[in-house]
């Protein structure tokens, strides 16, 4: 941290080479502006191959990680920051790697007694060639986020999905969970609230990040049992992966099945921090401004996460 009585010098990592670069740039710009308004000295770095050298030149007290996707939230940049002895925000190496790997994170959730749907890993060519699961099902990369490369195969579909060549060689095929899109943020050891996400159709990349792409009901108008279960499951998922700082856990809830219809989809260790993002909305609902949220993240930063 900075000298006694002073706010620390912050380097904010954004952009990077992942499929979620544009979202990260938006998150980073919002966070940098908020931190400056809070009085921090902020240097923005678009993370590239020269990241180590640029960090050495910048000499930060804290690194605010606003990267999304591979390299930024899968343990890679976290390992670099640990190696350099630089305190940083959000989760550490192991938790980041686990959360980004959907198959392994599901194993951790099952071990913690959390409800997840059946899924298999399969090659891209196999999924193109035949149904590897009875429709409806979802096909997604095993190690990306923000609905990048997600295919929904409907019940009664005539054939398997025509996956893009940009999809990885190994993908996850997951049983489709119907119902409400619900999400809960965790801040340290506290679950904030539950948001019900209303969209027309699939909650895809545009629905998440384009203004007007979705409508957020906050707090969610759902039965108290389901609300409390989301809060409990999100905190347990955060702990099961060994997460730190801020996370967001996404659910699907089939109202016709009650509590049995609540399914945990995944936990995001680097949630979006854009104008349409869910974590800042939930924090504000709980009385924490966006600037206060960013300040909390900086003050929570450490090595050995």
State whether 27 and 63 are in the same domain. yes
**168 and 153, same domain (yes or no):** yes
C-beta neighbour count of 126 within 10 angstroms: 14
Q: Check if 174 is active-site.
A: no
In a domain, 1, yes or no: no
User: Of residues 214, 268, 277, 295, which has the active-site annotation?
Assistant: 268
Question: Are 65 and 158 part of one and the same domain?
Answer: no
Cα gap 295→212, rounded to integer Å: 28
Q: What is the CATH number of the domain that holds 185?
A: 3.30.470.20
Given the residues 7, 174, 272, 277, select the one marked as catalytic: 272
Q: Which of 250, 252, 261, 295 is catalytic?
A: 250
Catalytic residue among 88, 203, 205, 209: 209
Q: Is the peptide bond before 74 cis (omega within 30 degrees of 0)?
A: no
Are 86 and 102 found together in one domain?
no
Q: Are strands 41-46 and 137-141 parallel, antiparallel or unpaired?
A: unpaired
The verdict on 194 and 158 lying in the same domain is no
Domain assignment present for 305? no
Question: Which residues does residue 185 pair with via DSSP β-bridges, in sequence order?
Answer: 248
DSSP 3-state of 110: helix
209 is catalytic: yes
Q: Are residues 108 and 257 in the same domain?
A: yes
Marked catalytic residue, from 65, 90, 91, 146: 146
pLDDT of residue 144: 72
Query: Catalytic residue at 20?
Result: yes
Whether 3 maps to a domain, the answer reads no
Decide if 44 is catalytic. no
pLDDT the model gives residue 70: 87
Sign of CA dihedral 105, 110, 113, 118: positive
Question: Are residues 244 and 192 both part of a single domain?
Answer: yes
CATH of the domain at 19: 3.40.50.20
Known catalytic residue: 266?
A: yes
Specify if 141 maps to a domain.
yes
199 and 111 within one domain: yes
Asked whether the beta carbons of 12 and 42 are under 8 A apart, the reply is: yes
Identify whether residues 67 and 138 lie together within a single domain: no
Q: Name the DSSP letter for residue 8.
A: P
One digit per residue, the tens of pLDDT, for the chain of length 305 reads 444 457 799 999 999 998 889 989 999 999 999 999 999 999 999 999 999 999 999 999 999 999 998 899 999 999 999 999 999 999 999 999 999 999 999 999 999 999 999 999 999 999 999 999 999 999 999 987 555 678 999 998 889 999 999 898 999 999 999 999 999 999 999 999 999 999 765 544 454 555 555 789 999 999 999 999 999 999 999 999 999 999 999 999 999 999 999 999 999 999 999 877 899 999 999 999 999 999 999 999 999 99
Among residues 175, 204, 220, which one ends one of the domains? Answer: 175
Active site residue 143: no
Q: Would you call 284 a catalytic residue per the annotation? A: no
Would you state the pLDDT for residue 36?
A: 97
- Shared domain for 47 and 142, answered yes or no, is no
Q: Does one domain contain both 160 and 55?
A: no
Look at the chain and report how many structural domains it folds into: 3
Q: Distance (Å, rounded) from C-alpha 52 to C-alpha 50?
A: 6
Check whether residue 265 and residue 136 sit in a common domain.
Answer: no
> Rounded to an integer, what distance in angstroms lies between the CA atom of residue 119 and that of residue 106?
9
How crowded is residue 154: how many other Cβ atoms within 10 Å of its Cβ?
A: 10
> Which residues form the domain of 252?
98-116+178-287
Active site residue 30: no
**End-to-end Cα separation, the chain, in angstroms:** 16
CA–CA distance, 119 with 175 (Å, rounded to integer)? 6
Domain's final residue, options 107, 140, 175: 175
């Amino acid at each position: 941290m900075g000298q006694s009585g002073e706010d620390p010098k912050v380097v904010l990592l954004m952009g990077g080479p992942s499929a979620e670069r544009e979202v990260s740039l938006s998150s980073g710009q919002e966070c940098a502006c908020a931190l400056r308004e809070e009085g921090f000295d902020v240097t923005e770095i678009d993370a590239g191959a020269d990241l180590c050298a640029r960090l050495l030149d910048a000499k930060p007290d804290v690194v605010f990680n606003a990267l999304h996707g591979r390299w930024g939230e899968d343990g890679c940049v976290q390992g670099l920051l640990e190696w350099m002895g630089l305190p940083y925000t959000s989760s550490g190496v192991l938790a980041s790697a686990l959360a980004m790997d959907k198959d392994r994170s599901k194993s951790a959730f099952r071990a913690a007694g959390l409800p997840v749907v059946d899924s298999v890993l399969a090659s891209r060519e196999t999924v193109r060639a035949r149904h590897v699961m009875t429709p409806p099902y979802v096909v997604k990369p095993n190690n990306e986020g923000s609905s990048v490369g997600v295919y929904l195969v409907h019940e009664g579909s005539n054939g398997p999905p025509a996956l893009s060549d940009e999809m990885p060689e190994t993908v996850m095929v997951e049983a489709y969970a119907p119902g409400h899109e619900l999400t809960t943020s965790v801040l340290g050891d506290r679950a904030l609230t539950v948001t019900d996400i209303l969209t027309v159709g699939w909650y895809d990349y545009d629905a998440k990040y384009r203004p007007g792409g979705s409508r957020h009901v906050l707090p969610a108008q759902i039965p108290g049992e389901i609300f409390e279960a989301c809060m409990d499951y999100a905190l347990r998922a955060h702990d099961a992966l060994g997460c730190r700082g801020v996370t967001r856990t996404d659910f699907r809830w089939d109202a016709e099945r009650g509590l049995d219809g609540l399914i945990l989809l995944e936990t995001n260790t680097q949630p979006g921090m854009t104008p349409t993002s869910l974590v800042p909305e939930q924090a504000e609902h709980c009385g924490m401004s966006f600037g206060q949220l960013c300040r909390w993240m900086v003050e929570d930063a450490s090595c050995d996460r």
